[in-house]
Amino acid sequence: MAFLMQGAHDDKTGSSGPQFAEVFVVVWVGAGIVTLNSQLLGGNISFFQSVCVLGYCMFPLVVAMVICWVVVHLTSASLFSVLLRLIVSALAYGWAIFASMGFLGDSQPAGRKALAVFPICLFYFILAWMVATYS
């Protein structure tokens, strides 16, 4: 995903798309914060299991990034292109949330499930927004 985002813009045009390090830091720091939150809430999943699950559940966003990259390079800049990228990113966001809830949602105590789910949704929303806007 980071490689596709880095190559999404031509450096000669002056665009300010994210660089590899920015995407790398957002993914790792975000996954670390979500995992730490899960641990502090009393979840019964280890730190590395949680980070791995968050990484695996990013797959729909990677697929969305590829689709958005193709849309940008095959169509002209238009409202249709923007709407298509937003729809694809929203579908991938929903898929990522659904996939991660099966693993991480059930690892939390019943009374604290919403507190654990919100950071996961926020983490994937930030990634989906990056996919929709920087592709």
Residue 128 included in any domain: yes
| Residue 65 maps to a domain | yes
Domain that holds residue 78: 25-134
Average pLDDT over residues 106-126: 89
Residue 105 lies in a domain: yes
Contact present, 42 and 109 (Cβ < 8 Å)? yes
How many folded domains does the chain comprise?
Answer: 1
Mean pLDDT, to the nearest integer, of 97-108?
87
Entry pTM? 0.84
Residue 87, domain member (yes or no): yes
**Number of other residues whose CB lies within 10 A of the CB of residue 31:** 19
CB of 2 closer than 8 Å to CB of 58: no
What is residue 91's predicted lDDT score, i.e. its pLDDT? Answer: 97
| Residue 71, in any domain of the structure | yes
Residue 7 lies inside a defined structural domain of this protein:
no
* 56-93: pLDDT as tens digits: 999 999 999 999 989 888 888 888 889 999 999 999 99
Residue 99 lies in a domain: yes
The counts of H helices and E strands in the chain are: 6, 0
Report if residue 51 sits inside a domain. yes
Which is it for the CA torsion 34, 40, 43, 48, positive or negative?
positive
